[in-house]
């Protein structure tokens, strides 16, 4: 078998050599071109593209060209640029020449030319390649006179700064004057100085600087305190009673202002809409003068009330003396408008040292002797006068038992400490209490004042709404014969009485009001009942008639009088006076409508 030997064609080997040679040649060319390009870039004698001096692009320029360009550009700015510092009302101009500004152009050119040339070969190539994308700015060094800037800033501050003045409010010749104040203004000098230096450094085309300031405004006005300070309530002339002398104090004008005008004026000042506002004050004179008061005081008898007593017994004579002392203490008393009369305060404590006598009083439901008995007739009569004079009754208590000198429901019990009788002068004028005890055994009280409504009258109506019958207690008396009775103490009937105040105007009823409910307690009647058996005796002929039913009669005080209580009413220990004179009063006609 024959073996076949294959041989590689010679042409394939030759092709490989050719390809390798071509690759080597291309590589050598690439390296050569790259080396040439690198060499060309690194040996470039102009500023690389992408370099700026301030805001001027200086790439692809020779040093001589830069020197001419920059010198011309910045010298023009030095010659022409002016910085204007401007506040709200003032401004200050500073030229670049005044500031002695100088730009170091040579240094800037050198730094621009050094970009891409100061590092290693590799770093320079990287820096140069980045310039086209990012660029690089060279800030030109500047020198200037800082003191000149500071001087200009200080000058403007002196013109601009202002002291704080608050808004002014004053009254001049009856006119309220409101003047707008002045805000405090302070220039922020450090901030302004930095703004000037930024303009110089950046050569900005906009050279007007709004001066930064700190402003403190005046305190805003509030209309209410202004109104409160201006407003004065009108004061009418008034009476003064001191050391027993009645005089008239002059009144004062009222002062006010139109509130809507004040509110608007305050708003105008606070909003700086106006520099000044003027508002006339409103003056209101008193409605009366001193002459009016002095000529109309104590000109009317508002009401006179009276009640009677007798002096037939020692007890009643003592009561009369006590009533007289009390009336003397009250007579001539003057009450100014609004003042309150207190019976106990005016009369004082009833003591023997002050001349008060002993008379019958009730104490704890019994008849006893007590100092000052009878004074409740004075307080009750004065109460009736005050009531019908339309004065305000402040404090009033009825007696424990019924009285005989005034209608039920019109009495006023008093005792030292408590209870008291009080009323207020609710008129606009002083009142005087005139009191006297007449020779006819009558106590009279008159309320003297000024009647401002002559058609007005007051009536009192006190119907009995419930009656409480007394109980009778019997005491067996062996000194009295059987079947015979003697009343040792008369009983007292009790009542519940409602008191109404009737107000009429020109005879027509305008109001009816229940003002009191008085409870008068009943008191038992005591009867002595005979228990002695009497044997009949036959008279002998010629003998005188023998008086039957003879006995040792004990003195019996028949208390037929109604009773005046001067104490704690139904609260136990009552200091009650007895009035031995009985007055009979006709019943008052009932009202057509029952007051509520």
Please give the order of strands across the beta sheet that includes 340-342.
340-342, 422-424, 392-395
Given this model, what pLDDT does residue 478 score?
95
Look up residue 503 and give its two tokens.
């107000």
Work out the percent of the chain whose per-residue pLDDT is above 70. Answer: 83
Residue 273 has pLDDT above 70, yes or no: yes
**DSSP states of 449-465:** E--S-TTEEEEEE--EE
Average of pLDDT values for 447-474?
Answer: 96
Average of pLDDT values for 192-218?
Answer: 83
Query: Whole-angstrom Cα distance, residue 72 to residue 78?
Result: 10
**Three-class secondary structure assignment of 212-277:** CEEEECCCCCCHHHHHHHHCECCECCEEEEECCEEEEECCECEEECCHHHHHHHHHHHHCCCCCEE
Query: Whole-angstrom Cα distance, residue 383 to residue 320?
Result: 18
Average of pLDDT values for 297-313?
Answer: 96
Average of pLDDT values for 491-516?
Answer: 97
Dihedral of CA atoms 239, 242, 245, 247 in degrees, nearest 10, equals -30
Look up residue 33 and give its two tokens.
């071109």
pLDDT band at 13 (very low <50, low <70, confident <90, very high): low
Higher pLDDT, 56 or 340: 340
| Spatial contact of 416 and 425, defined as CB atoms under 8 Å apart | no
Residue 7 has pLDDT above 60, yes or no: no
Q: Centre a 10 Å sphere on the Cβ of residue 331 and count the other Cβ atoms it contains.
A: 15
Query: Whole-angstrom Cα distance, residue 435 to residue 377?
Result: 13
Residue 226 has pLDDT above 60, yes or no: yes
| Of residues 366, 333, 369, 367, the one with CA closest to residue 348 | 333
Average of pLDDT values for 444-468?
Answer: 97
For 282, the 3-state DSSP assignment is: strand
Query: Whole-angstrom Cα distance, residue 379 to residue 374?
Result: 9
Element of type H or E holding 53: strand 51-53
Look up residue 502 and give its two tokens.
């009737």
| Spatial contact of 336 and 329, defined as CB atoms under 8 Å apart | no
pLDDT band at 549 (very low <50, low <70, confident <90, very high): very low
Bridging pattern class, strands 422-424 and 392-395: antiparallel
Average of pLDDT values for 156-162?
Answer: 88
Higher pLDDT, 5 or 483: 483
Given this model, what pLDDT does residue 126 score?
80
Given this model, what pLDDT does residue 12 score?
60
CA 326 vs CA 317, 349, 374, 440: distances in Å: 14, 10, 10, 17
- Nearest 5°: the CA angle 60, 63, 69 is 85
Range from 185-199, 376-390, 457-471 carrying the lowest mean pLDDT? 185-199
Work out the percent of the chain whose per-residue pLDDT is above 90. Answer: 54
Residue 174 has pLDDT above 50, yes or no: yes
Please give the order of strands across the beta sheet that includes 208-210.
91-95, 82-86, 208-210
Range from 103-107, 281-285, 295-299 carrying the lowest mean pLDDT? 103-107
**DSSP states of 466-523:** EEEPPPEEEEEEEEEETT-EEEEE--B-EEEEEEEEEEEETTEEEEEEEEEEEEE--B
Given this model, what pLDDT does residue 203 score?
66
Average of pLDDT values for 235-264?
Answer: 93
pLDDT band at 166 (very low <50, low <70, confident <90, very high): very high
| Of residues 219, 507, 566, 136, the one with CA closest to residue 377 | 566
Measured N-to-C along each axis, helices 223-230 and 259-270 cross at an angle, to the nearest 10 degrees, of 130
Residue 104 has pLDDT above 70, yes or no: yes
Range from 22-26, 160-164, 269-273, 555-559 carrying the lowest mean pLDDT? 555-559
Higher pLDDT, 553 or 25: 25
Q: CA 550 from chain center: how many Å? A: 86
| Spatial contact of 392 and 317, defined as CB atoms under 8 Å apart | no
Buried b (16+ CB within 10 A) or exposed e, 474-493: eeebeebbeeeebebbbbbb
């Amino acid at each position: 078998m024959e073996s076949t030997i294959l041989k590689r064609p010679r042409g394939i080997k030759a092709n490989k050599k050719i390809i390798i040679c071509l690759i080597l040649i291309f590589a050598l060319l690439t390296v050569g071109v790259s080396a040439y390009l690198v060499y060309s870039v690194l040996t470039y004698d102009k500023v690389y593209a992408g370099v700026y001096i301030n805001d001027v692009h200086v790439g692809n320029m020779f040093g001589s060209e830069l020197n001419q360009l920059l010198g011309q550009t910045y010298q023009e700015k030095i010659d022409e640029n002016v910085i204007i510092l401007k506040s709200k009302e003032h401004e200050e101009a500073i030229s670049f020449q005044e500031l002695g500004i100088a730009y170091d152009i040579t240094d800037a050119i050198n730094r621009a030319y050094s970009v891409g040339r100061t590092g290693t070969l590799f770093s320079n190539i990287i820096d140069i390649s980045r310039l086209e994308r990012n660029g690089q700015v060279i800030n030109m060094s500047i020198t200037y006179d800082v003191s000149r800037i500071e001087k200009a800033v200080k000058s403007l501050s002196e013109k601009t700064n202002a002291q704080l003045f608050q808004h002014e409010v004053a009254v001049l010749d009856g006119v309220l004057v409101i003047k707008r104040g002045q805000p405090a203004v302070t220039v922020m000098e450090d901030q302004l100085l930095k703004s000037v230096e930024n303009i110089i450094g950046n050569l900005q085309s906009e050279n007007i600087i709004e001066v930064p300031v700190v402003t403190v405004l005046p305190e805003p006005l509030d209309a209410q305190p202004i109104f409160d300070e201006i407003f004065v309530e009108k004061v009418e002339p008034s009476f003064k009673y001191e050391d027993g002398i009645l005089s008239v104090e002059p009144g004062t004008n009222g002062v006010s202002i139109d509130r809507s005008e004040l509110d608007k004026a305050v708003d105008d000042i606070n909003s700086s809409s106006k520099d000044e506002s003027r508002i006339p004050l409103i003056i209101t004179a008193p409605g009366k003068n001193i002459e009016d008061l002095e000529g109309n005081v104590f000109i009317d008898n508002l009401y006179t009330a009276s009640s009677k007593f007798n002096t037939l017994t020692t007890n009643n004579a003592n009561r009369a003396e006590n009533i007289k002392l009390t009336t003397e203490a009250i007579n001539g008393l003057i009450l100014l408008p609004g003042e309150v009369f207190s019976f106990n305060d005016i009369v004082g404590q009833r003591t023997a040292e002050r001349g008060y006598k002993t008379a019958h009083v009730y104490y704890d439901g019994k008849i006893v002797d007590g100092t000052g008995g009878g004074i409740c007739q004075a307080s009750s009569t004065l109460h009736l006068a005050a009531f019908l004079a339309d004065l305000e009754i402040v404090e009033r208590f009825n007696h424990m038992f019924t009285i005989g000198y005034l209608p039920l429901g019109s009495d006023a019990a008093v005792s030292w400490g408590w209870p008291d009788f009080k009323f207020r002068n609710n008129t606009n004028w002083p009142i005087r209490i005139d009191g006297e005890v007449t020779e006819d055994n009558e106590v009279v009280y008159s309320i003297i004042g000024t009647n401002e409504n002559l058609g007005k009258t007051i009536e009192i109506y006190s119907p009995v709404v419930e009656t409480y019958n007394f109980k009778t207690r019997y005491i067996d008396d062996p000194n009295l014969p059987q079947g015979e009775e003697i009343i040792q103490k008369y009983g007292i009937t009790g009542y519940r009485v409602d008191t109404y105040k009737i107000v009429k105007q020109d005879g027509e009823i305008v109001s009816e009001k229940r003002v009191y409910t008085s409870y008068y307690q009943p008191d038992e009647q005591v009867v002595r009942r005979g228990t002695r058996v009497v044997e009949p005796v036959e008279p002998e002929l010629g003998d005188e008639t023998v008086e039957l039913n003879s006995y040792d009669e004990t003195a019996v005080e028949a208390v037929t009088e109604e009773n005046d209580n001067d104490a704690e009413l139904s609260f136990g220990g009552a200091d009650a006076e007895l009035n031995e004179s009985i007055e009979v009063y006709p019943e008052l006609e009932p009202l057509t409508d029952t007051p509520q």
